[in-house]
Chain A
Amino acid sequence: MAVIVPTPLRPAVDSDGVTPRTPLTGRRRFAIVLAVTGTIVTALVVLSSLVGVRMLAPDDLWRALTAFDARDDAHLLLVNRRLPRAALAVLVGAALGAAGVVMQSLTRNPIAEPGLLGVNAGAAVAVAVAVALAGIVTPFAYFGAALLGAAAAGALVILLGGVRRGSDPVRLVLAGAALSVVLGALAQIVIINGDEQIFDRYRAWAVGSLAGRDLDVLPPAAVLLSLGLVLASLLCRALDATALGPEASRALGARPALVWPTAGLAVVLLAGGATASAGPIAFVGLTAPHVARLLVGSAHHRMLPVAMALGATLVLVADTLGRVVAPPGEVGVGIMVALLGGPFFVALVRRRRVAPL
């Protein structure tokens, strides 16, 4: 949770960029929004753990937590699969929301999202190569490959984007888009030349899914994503300044040479970790920051935790719905998020309520 620090770097026009508010009103609003979203996330975690091919009762969950019985299949399922999966959904959603906040502020681009830094494409090509050439099958191996690919691609984009020559958002986004196309093509080449099993495994990863990634992936994901979240929250002040533009931010004493690599590392940890955990999931990193900005304004110490809670909400809803829309099969969380987030974002844009950065 970000600490509320009164700061001179905060934009003069507060909150949603339309109505100036007093700090007290802003704080109260933030507290209410955070409490409501936090409650929603908790309720969704409970719901998510009960829904599946085998529907469980709240009593099963209560007894699994208070009087675990290894002979009860419901308890085994809850403790080993459903709860870790819900926890991973919260982590992944929060990380994508936070990554979106950092990226949008850093590039001052309202449609920036983690995929734009080449992170998804880097992860995809690494997974494709690992599946096709090394024949990996375990979720943990997917995680490792995807994370390495995401980090390498992220680093390459930052390098190609000319971060050493100062912060140029357009150049960075172009580098990300170009590298994404090249890496995407490379992944396709590898997969097309693989057999059906390789294609199936890759497809299962590429649609974005939390199924089966729970136990193996949760501990390393928790460590990496927590690191990324801490780093992002430390960047709040700097991002407040960066969002004002290069001149203003320099005038306010921000140091782009330090902010950019740190923010880049945060994005790679957050988006790379999330993609490695669940496959590519679009829209969360794009939508959550916009909604957060509408709800609590563009001060990062408020926007970041709200975007994290909204990201977690979106991923939990998508993952839970994905298990009930086409039983007994599952629809991947990546597809469900796109189905839910797409129309929502279009509606948001059409109402012209996208708050300016």
Chain B
Amino acid sequence: MTTHTPVRRRTLAAIGLALTAAFASTSCSAPAGEATAPEDSTTATGQWPRTVENADGTSTEIPRQPRRIVATSVSVTGTLLAMNAPVVASGSQVGGVWFDQWADIAEERGLTNLWSVGEFDLEAVMASDPDLIIVVTSGRGALTDQVTDLQSVAPTVVIDYGAQTWQELALELGRATGLETEAQRTIDEFDALVTDVAGAISVPEGTANIISFNGPGQDNPIARGGGSHADLLESLGFTLEDPDPSWHTQAQERADFVWATYENLLELTSETTFILSADDETAQGFAEDPVLANVPAVAAGQVYGLGRNSFRMDPYSSTEVVEHVRALFS
């Protein structure tokens, strides 16, 4: 875990500003020693400068292939790391930590921790000396009001990751960073893994469902067909039970999950249940609930965790989920 103190941030900001001024005056690009260059195979692909469309309807011109990318939200960082993008700094989760599924890789690549989600510090961005900044429009990491400030530091791309799968996000990031080949390679490798695992496992009889089990007194989101979680299990050979949309308790309908009350869980019909954000041990909380004893998956003894990191799907967590399913059913 890497965290910044304000003092350290200011010092870095000062150094960053000084370096920027020094290099700007000598018409140099980013400091050569500090830059994390993209891998040779992907260097300078495509045409530069290029213009990308932003999620807020504007467009951004990127003069040359980015060599120092800053992601203001932790949500897209996993995908950037997976496609070997030269990401040098990123916002982190609450408590200043990375997502578990790629924390080791972030540490290994010396990723600078800008701030915990919900915070913003322009000086920290400047100190990272970016040549591309990526901002998101959804979640607590959204910084749509700060785009103008960020644009004064470096070209800034606005992404809506909430409305797309990590594969679509990877392709979008690939266009902005000139790493289309890397993005496609990441997707292809994952698809190959899915095909491999789908062929290696014996899928249990009947249908399956995916539940974020919170117990009585709270809503229990159930994955809908067409959502990224359902899609992933279907690509592994499972047939997903689509929950009744009338169970939804929230004002806004969602395409990926139905927020169901605890008592509606009694209506589930699948023989297999996967519990979101849980390992197999934690998932047994569902199986041991006294009221749910007659739910088919519980009666069949087929309640499994989908993995502790399964809530947020990125290349790393999706791979964890697929490997876990392989371990369960092969």
Residue of A nearest to B289 (CB): A80
Q: Residues of A contacting B293 with CB < 8 Å?
A: 70, 76
Residue of B nearest to A139 (CB): B217
* Bound-state Cα–Cα, A213 to B262, Å: 13
Q: B105 near A: Cβ within 8 Å?
A: no
Q: Residues of B contacting A72 with CB < 8 Å?
A: 294
Within the complex, what minimum Cβ distance (angstroms) separates B11 from chain A?
25
Q: Residues of B contacting A194 with CB < 8 Å?
A: 94
Within the complex, what minimum Cβ distance (angstroms) separates A79 from chain B?
8
Asked if residues B215 and A212 are in contact (CB atoms below 8 Å), the reply is yes
Q: Residues of A contacting B249 with CB < 8 Å?
A: 328-330
From the candidates A53, A71, A139, name the one contacting B263 in the complex (CB within 8 A). Answer: A53
Q: Residues of B contacting A324 with CB < 8 Å?
A: none
A:100-143 near B, CB below 8 Å: 139
Asked if residues A76 and B291 are in contact (CB atoms below 8 Å), the reply is yes
* Bound-state Cα–Cα, A201 to B219, Å: 11
Known A-B contacts A76-B294, A213-B217, A328-B247; A53 and B264 likewise in contact (beta carbons under 8 Å): yes
Asked if residues B266 and A196 are in contact (CB atoms below 8 Å), the reply is no
Within the complex, what minimum Cβ distance (angstroms) separates B149 from chain A?
23
Asked if residues B291 and A214 are in contact (CB atoms below 8 Å), the reply is no
Residue of A nearest to B263 (CB): A53
Known A-B contacts A204-B217, A212-B217; A80 and B290 likewise in contact (beta carbons under 8 Å): yes
| Max count, chain A CB within 10 A of own CB: residue among B118, B216, B249 | B216
Asked if residues A204 and B218 are in contact (CB atoms below 8 Å), the reply is yes
Number of chain B residues whose Cβ lies closer than 8 Å to a Cβ of chain A: 25
Interface of A: prevailing SS: loop
Q: B93 near A: Cβ within 8 Å?
A: yes
B:251-291 near A, CB below 8 Å: 260-264, 266, 290-291
Q: Residues of A contacting B117 with CB < 8 Å?
A: 195
Q: How large is the interface on A (under 10, 10 to 19, 20 to 34, 35 or more residues)?
A: 20 to 34
Q: B140 near A: Cβ within 8 Å?
A: yes
Residue of B nearest to A198 (CB): B94
Q: B246 near A: Cβ within 8 Å?
A: yes
Residue of A nearest to B292 (CB): A76
Asked if residues A211 and B294 are in contact (CB atoms below 8 Å), the reply is no
Asked if residues B216 and A54 are in contact (CB atoms below 8 Å), the reply is no
A:201-239 near B, CB below 8 Å: 201, 204, 209, 211-215
Q: Residues of B contacting A198 with CB < 8 Å?
A: 94
A:176-212 near B, CB below 8 Å: 193-196, 198, 200-201, 204, 209, 211-212
Q: A73 near B: Cβ within 8 Å?
A: yes
Q: Residues of A contacting B248 with CB < 8 Å?
A: 328
Residue of A nearest to B93 (CB): A195
Known A-B contacts A195-B117, A196-B140; A77 and B217 likewise in contact (beta carbons under 8 Å): no
Residue of A nearest to B94 (CB): A195
From the candidates B261, B290, B294, name the one contacting A330 in the complex (CB within 8 A). Answer: B261
B:89-111 near A, CB below 8 Å: 93-94
A:44-81 near B, CB below 8 Å: 52-54, 70-73, 76-77, 80-81
Known A-B contacts A195-B93, A195-B117, A209-B217; A329 and B291 likewise in contact (beta carbons under 8 Å): no
Residue of A nearest to B311 (CB): A197
Q: Residues of B contacting A71 with CB < 8 Å?
A: 294
* Bound-state Cα–Cα, A201 to B290, Å: 22
Q: 1/0 contact trace for A304-331 toward B, CB 8 Å?
A: 0000000000000000000000001110
* Bound-state Cα–Cα, A83 to B118, Å: 42
Within the complex, what minimum Cβ distance (angstroms) separates A148 from chain B?
21
Asked if residues B94 and A73 are in contact (CB atoms below 8 Å), the reply is no
Q: Residues of A contacting B216 with CB < 8 Å?
A: 81, 211-212, 214
From the candidates B94, B218, B290, name the one contacting A76 in the complex (CB within 8 A). Answer: B290
Q: Residues of A contacting B93 with CB < 8 Å?
A: 195
Q: 1/0 contact trace for A72-102 toward B, CB 8 Å?
A: 1100110011000000000000000000000
* Bound-state Cα–Cα, A328 to B263, Å: 9
Q: 1/0 contact trace for A133-177 toward B, CB 8 Å?
A: 000000100000000000000000000000000000000000000
Q: Residues of B contacting A212 with CB < 8 Å?
A: 215-218, 262
* Bound-state Cα–Cα, A329 to B219, Å: 8
Q: Residues of A contacting B262 with CB < 8 Å?
A: 211-212
Within the complex, what minimum Cβ distance (angstroms) separates B142 from chain A?
12
* Bound-state Cα–Cα, A329 to B220, Å: 11
* Bound-state Cα–Cα, A329 to B294, Å: 23
Within the complex, what minimum Cβ distance (angstroms) separates B94 from chain A?
4
22 contacting pairs across A/B (C-beta < 8 A): A52-B263, A53-B263, A71-B294, A76-B291, A76-B294, A77-B263, A77-B266, A77-B291, A81-B291, A193-B118, A196-B140, A211-B216, A212-B215, A212-B216, A212-B217, A212-B218, A213-B217, A215-B290, A328-B249, A328-B264, A329-B249, A329-B250
Hey, which bits of chain B sit against chain A, CB under 8 A? 93-94, 117-118, 140, 215-219, 246-250, 260-264, 266, 290-291, 293-294
* 13 additional A-B residue pairs with CB within 8 Å, beyond A70-B293, A195-B94: A72-B294, A77-B291, A81-B291, A139-B217, A193-B94, A194-B94, A195-B93, A195-B117, A204-B217, A213-B217, A328-B261, A329-B249, A329-B261
